[in-house]
Amino acid sequence: MNATWPTLGVVIATLAACATPPPARAEVELFVLGIAQDGGLPHFGCEQPCCAEARRSGRVLHPTALGIVDRRGEGAPKLLLVEATPRIEEQVAMLHELASVHGRGRQPVDAVMTTHAHLGHYLGLAWFGREVAGSRDVPLHASPRFCAFLESQAPWKQLVALHQIAPRPFVVGEPFAPWSGLTITAIQVPHRDEFSDTMAFVLRGPNRTVLFVPDVDAWEKAPGLLDRLLDGVDVAYLDGTFYDGRELPDRNLAEIPHPLMTRTMERLADRARQRPGTLRFLHCNHSNPVLHDPALRARIEAAGFAIAEQGERQPL
């Protein structure tokens, strides 16, 4: 019978662990709410092993999005959603849980930012409409061209007319603040711009700076762009859509251009060695082997790079 009782040492260790306070949370934090390309994983229309296995196992990776929580000041923390994906409900619920924020009701976040008008980055705006949340004047920070698109094209113009979203165009290349103490600079990057231009965001909190550039056609299209984006940045989230281009043999990648991870890593090899873990890939296509091959991922990490994790956090 005595063998079932914990030893005194175990009891003391357990009490000590319970008495140890949890690590302090940063006043301003960034959370990764998704790391996949627009369709997520499993991917609609894909019957390949990568998605078939994900369906069997229940593995889900959301489209790329970020959330920022600002706990400074009195009252409830402020929440910023970066990208409004088709999985917005699950991602905002994740943000609320990670940030320990509850009871937001029809105003789930305080503001939204979008990089461009491709389906995985803005379709979730519809969830603020009267058919779903019925929100009221949620500030939407986007480029002037993107705002004009939303104000003139159905169904988005209905959300504007009914004051469910409130487009707030920023000046490209100039800092703006969704609220005091959080500064963002939008920098235009080359991409397929059918309905809007495309932005990278440099997010500056009170202590650190993070770069978010989930979509770009090719670094070569804008010489010096990558160095400019990385200047003064502590952590960079970079377009990792395709690893080496061989993972999607049935698609013409010229129609959906992105910088291959292999080439980006060649460009940034020195920086990765000097600052391991600060260059983090996301927006990974469902077929990208970095999502499915642990050995490949280990080699990437050994070179100083990283694949972002859904749910990871960065202090700002």
Could you read off the pLDDT of 152-197 as tens digits, one per residue?
999 999 999 999 999 999 999 999 999 999 999 999 999 888 889 9
Condensed to tens digits (0 to 9), the pLDDT of residues 102-121 reads 889 999 999 999 999 999 99
Residue among 170, 226, 171, 236 at smallest CA distance from 203: 236
Burial letters for 55-80: b for 16+ Cβ neighbours within 10 Å, e otherwise? eeeeeebbbbbbbbbbeeeeeebbbb
Structure tokens at 72: 């400074």
pLDDT at 21: 41
What is the SS3 assignment for 256-310?
Answer: CCCCCHHHHHHHCHHHHHHCCCCEEEECECCCCHHHCCHHHHHHHHHCCEEECCC
Whether this model's pTM surpasses 0.85 = yes
Q: Residue 271 pLDDT more than 90?
A: yes
Q: Residue 40 pLDDT more than 80?
A: yes
Q: Residue 10 pLDDT more than 80?
A: no
Q: Is there a domain that residue 64 lies in?
A: yes
Of all residues in the chain, the percent with pLDDT exceeding 90 is 81
Q: Is there a domain that residue 7 lies in?
A: no
Q: Is there a domain that residue 254 lies in?
A: yes
Instruction: Name the domain count of the chain.
Output: 1
Q: Is there a domain that residue 5 lies in?
A: no
Structure-model confidence comparison of residues 189 and 217, the more confident one: 189
Q: Is there a domain that residue 87 lies in?
A: yes
3-class DSSP state of 92: helix
Q: Is there a domain that residue 315 lies in?
A: no
When pLDDT is cut at 50, 70 and 90, the band that residue 9 belongs to is very low
When pLDDT is cut at 50, 70 and 90, the band that residue 256 belongs to is low
Burial letters for 270-308: b for 16+ Cβ neighbours within 10 Å, e otherwise? ebbeeeeebbbbbbbbbbbbbbbeeeebeebeeebbbbb
Separation between Cα atoms, residue 74 and residue 77, nearest integer Å:
8
- Average pLDDT over the chain, rounded to an integer: 90
The residue type of 50 is C
147: containing domain: 25-308
CATH number, position 47: 3.60.15.10
Q: Residue 79 pLDDT more than 90?
A: yes
Q: Which residues contact 294 (CB under 8 A, 6 or more apart)?
A: none
Q: Is there a domain that residue 44 lies in?
A: yes
Q: Is there a domain that residue 14 lies in?
A: no
